[in-house]
């Protein structure tokens, strides 16, 4: 019997697949929302997908100094919210569409979110 993969294993060992699925889902929407958020001195722009039926949240965040991370949040069996953060490698950053990276950096610089048509990034 094949062992069940945990979310931690998924993010640690298959993050490129998760990033590709996130980008595909985000780009398939009518509108793409890039938000700005901060906590203390840390600031980031973020795109997020929610899978409500599974209580999961997957996000891509761009921080200052060209630091990117994959954020995965979910509720465990005891209804405790678990967060997994995976810093992106250069190879993983290269998966991201150039226009998306530019827009996420602009949101971070301007400290203001934006909403754009989904087909804007495919032009």
- Dump pLDDT digits (tens) for 57-106: 999 999 999 999 999 999 888 889 999 999 999 999 999 999 999 999 99
What pLDDT does 77 receive?
Answer: 84
Confidence at 122, pLDDT banded by 50, 70, 90: low
Q: Does residue 52 carry a pLDDT above 80?
A: no
DSSP state of 97: -
Ordered by start, the domain boundaries in the chain are 7-118
Question: Which of 40, 47, 34 is CA-nearest to residue 111?
Answer: 34
Q: Is the dihedral of CA 23, 25, 33, 49 positive or negative?
A: negative
Mean pLDDT of 6-13: 82
- Find out whether 118 and 30 touch, Cβ atoms under 8 Å: yes
| Helix or strand (DSSP H, E) at 72 | strand 67-75
Q: How many angstroms separate the CA atoms of 102 and 94, rounded?
A: 13
pTM: 0.88
């Amino acid at each position: 019997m094949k062992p069940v993969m945990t979310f931690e294993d998924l993010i640690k060992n298959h993050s490129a697949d998760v990033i590709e699925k996130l980008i595909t889902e985000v780009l398939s929407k009518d509108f793409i929302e890039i938000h700005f958020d901060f906590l203390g001195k840390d600031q980031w722009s973020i795109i997020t997908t929610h899978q409500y039926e599974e209580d999961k949240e997957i996000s891509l965040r761009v921080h200052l100094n060209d630091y990117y991370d994959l954020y995965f949040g979910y509720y465990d069996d005891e209804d405790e919210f678990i967060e997994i953060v995976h810093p992106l490698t250069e190879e993983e950053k290269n998966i991201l569409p150039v226009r998306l990276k530019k827009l996420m950096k602009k949101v971070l610089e301007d400290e203001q979110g934006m909403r754009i048509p989904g087909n804007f990034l495919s032009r």
